[in-house]
Amino acid sequence: MVTIVLVRHAAHDDLGRILSGRSDVALNSRGAEQADRLARRLLVDRPVEIHASPRRRTRQTAQAIASHAQMEVKIMNNLDEIDFGAWTGASFAQLASDPRWDAWNARRSTASAPEGESMASAVARAVEHCERHRGDTDEAILCVTHGDIIRGTVAHYLGLSLDGIHGFDVEPASITRLRLTRQNTCLLTMNEVPS
């Protein structure tokens, strides 16, 4: 079996205000502290590999973990943030007046971002990444990625519609663990935030 440890990147200045999407916003000082706490907590998982989305905030979070574990980070495009297309960089206040934003959040299983990607497509690539590591060896793979990618991946493995992904939280600098055996997948922990 393999344990996929899904880690959401730590805090940055756009968090909660702007849809960062595939922009390259960096961690702020709070995020750097969160990443350090994550690094210390994740040592117990004894990962054999650390993978990260190409975004700067995920690379910085992964590098903090890798420095503590004395490992290297592998950049994986399948873990990238959803391509929000025309919405990238918009404030959540601006998006609130866009009916397409309402449709996106109500129908994640079928909606696509304007000039961007569908949630289903983003989740499919993340699940493909996880499935590459399904096997009979007892190891942990750390994957530093984004909140919606983690929510969607968990929803997939639990057999839930993507329309309901806002039914659970994935906080910045949180840890979610999935165990993949040859027969099934088990959610071990979700939204664990190191103190």
Rounded to an integer, what distance in angstroms lies between the CA atom of residue 94 and that of residue 72? Answer: 39
SS3 51: strand
Q: Where are the domains of the chain?
A: 2-83+120-192
What distances in angstroms separate CA 2 from CA 47, 67, 188, one per listed residue? 10, 23, 12
The CATH number fitting domain 2-83+120-192, selected from 1.10.260.40, 3.20.10.10, 3.40.640.10, 3.40.50.1240: 3.40.50.1240
State residue 142's pLDDT score. Answer: 97
Give the DSSP letter string of 98-152: -HHHHHHHH-TTT-B-TTS-BHHHHHHHHHHHHHTT-SSS-EEEEEEE-HHHHHH
* pLDDT tens-digit map of 100-140: 999 999 999 999 999 999 999 999 999 999 999 987 678 99
182: pLDDT strictly greater than 90: no
Q: What is the pLDDT of residue 48?
A: 94
What does pTM read for this prediction?
0.96
Residue 185 pLDDT greater than 90, yes or no: yes
The full 3-state SS of 168-186, as one line of letters, equals CCCCCCCEEEEEECCCCEE
- 57-108 pLDDT tens trace: 999 999 999 999 999 999 999 999 999 999 999 999 999 999 999 999 999 9
